Amino acid sequence: MDFAFSDEQEELGRTVRAFLAHTSPETEVRRLMETPEGFDRALWRRMGSELGLQGLAVPEEYGGAGYGPVEVGVVMEEMGRAMVCAPFLSSAVLATTTLLRCADEGARKHLLPGLASGELVGTLALTEDSARWDTAGVRLTARESGGSWLLSGHKTFVLDGAAADVVLTVARTGDGIGVFRVAGDAVGLTRTPLPTMDPTRRQARLDYHDVPATRLRTHGNGWDLVAEVLDRAAVALAAEQVGLASRALDMAVGYAKVRHQFGRPIGSFQAVKHLLADVLLEVESARAAAHYALLAAESGDPELPAVASLAKAFCSEAGLRATEANIQVHGGIGFTWEHPAHLFLKRAKTSQLLFGDPAYHRELLARRIGMDTGTGTCEGAA
């Protein structure tokens, strides 16, 4: 299988990179990460209206471009390189994928045009205090009352949860797991921003006090939809991790060429050369894993669940190692607040944990290919 992107996809990547270089330099990232919402609404709308980024995977009938996961992955990789402060993962990946994969045509017609244009921001609220990514972690309840649904409980670590206009909430019902559509300003919904290691990607705690909601129609069990969305989101995040790792490697190589010690560039020292060569091998291997996973998502390959876990585990570790090596090569200056190296490390670490850490996904991978690990920690996730 050819893992390379097509000429059109490569051009998309170059266009997005140029756009982000102009609109999201380091100074803008630092400014936005100090603002209440954590992103620029006007720029978010420009991404939708000028480049159509949020609607890449949305069919044309709903106002999108009609492409698929590969194009979304191209954008995620470039956003990882620029470490963009924007709710692309939460809105254009999690919320949009949930709507695209559910069986609710009414919800698609109502929400996808706004999500695709950038007029709306969406997210998926799944995790609670246990931080589990399986059915056992879902404790928020939904009950029917007078022909409508009311949600009670809380969610935490919700990506862009404090700013989202639409919160797709996973809840436990009398017949299993359901996914519910909740307005961001719904009565009874309290949203509290959370302090996080990575200031460039916001999270929030959401408290539900009999919040009115509309249940999404799904193909069969509601958890099957959630599991599929998580797999596809893990693949998109793996692509972002590749971009992040690639940028960190470029920063380290660039510094090794200009920083001199003992009258020589530090890049000429064997220890530094070997370190960067190892990182290059990991980054390129991660790129191959992410691209393969994107192609599997594009084609609907039945191996997608296994491939998604493989890519997420490998790319998570590659991203963290690349950002750690970047700081190591920079030495003392890499540890300072003024240098961006620490921002890349923080994004890499939080991304490593998002949707499950590498150990979780290795166990999930083993289960998905028929190997019983006997630990039971992934019960309900497959």
Tell whether 254 and 281 lie within a shared domain. Answer: yes
Q: Is residue 382 part of a domain?
A: no
The answer to whether 358 and 348 have CB atoms below 8 angstroms apart is no
Across the range 99-106, mean pLDDT stands at: 95
Tell whether 76 and 200 lie within a shared domain. Answer: no
Q: Is residue 259 part of a domain?
A: yes
User: Which of 98-107, 115-124, 240-249, 329-338 has the lowest average pLDDT?
Assistant: 329-338
Q: Binning pLDDT at 50, 70 and 90, where does residue 372 land?
A: low
Tell whether 162 and 259 lie within a shared domain. Answer: no
Identify the pLDDT of residue 265: 86
The answer to whether 81 and 247 have CB atoms below 8 angstroms apart is yes
Identify the pLDDT of residue 380: 40
Q: Is residue 134 part of a domain?
A: yes
Tell whether 351 and 251 lie within a shared domain. Answer: yes
Structure tokens at 77: 């990789």
Phi, psi of 330, deg, nearest 5:
-75, -20
Question: Of 87, 121, 155, which closes a domain?
Answer: 121
Question: Of 103, 121, 139, which closes a domain?
Answer: 121
pLDDT digits (tens, 9 = 90+) for 322-334: 999 999 999 988 8
Q: Binning pLDDT at 50, 70 and 90, where does residue 29 land?
A: very high
pLDDT digits (tens, 9 = 90+) for 267-317: 888 899 999 999 999 999 999 999 999 999 999 899 999 999 999 999 999
pLDDT digits (tens, 9 = 90+) for 155-210: 999 999 999 999 999 999 988 999 999 999 999 999 999 999 999 999 999 999 99
Question: 90: domain CATH number?
Answer: 1.10.540.10
Q: Residue 249 belongs to what H/E stretch?
A: helix 222-258
Predicted model pTM: 0.93
Q: Binning pLDDT at 50, 70 and 90, where does residue 381 land?
A: very low
Identify the pLDDT of residue 379: 42
Structure tokens at 34: 């100090």
Domain residues for 360? 223-368
Identify the pLDDT of residue 293: 96
Question: 239: domain CATH number?
Answer: 1.20.140.10
Identify the pLDDT of residue 373: 58
Question: CA torsion 301→305→310→311, rounded to 10°?
Answer: 70
Q: Binning pLDDT at 50, 70 and 90, where does residue 1 land?
A: low
Identify the pLDDT of residue 140: 96
Question: Of 221, 242, 269, which closes a domain?
Answer: 221
- Cα 202 from chain centroid (whole Å): 12
Identify the pLDDT of residue 370: 86
Tell whether 53 and 66 lie within a shared domain. Answer: yes
Identify the pLDDT of residue 226: 96
Identify the pLDDT of residue 52: 94
Identify the sign of the CA torsion 65, 70, 72, 75. Answer: negative
Q: Is residue 39 part of a domain?
A: yes
Beta-bridge partners for 214: 181
Mean pLDDT over the full length of the chain: 92
pLDDT digits (tens, 9 = 90+) for 117-170: 999 999 999 999 999 999 999 999 999 988 889 999 999 999 999 999 999 999
What share of the chain in percent tops pLDDT 90?
84
pLDDT digits (tens, 9 = 90+) for 346-370: 999 999 999 999 999 999 999 998 8
Identify the pLDDT of residue 248: 96
Task: Say yes or no to pLDDT of 103 above 70.
Answer: yes
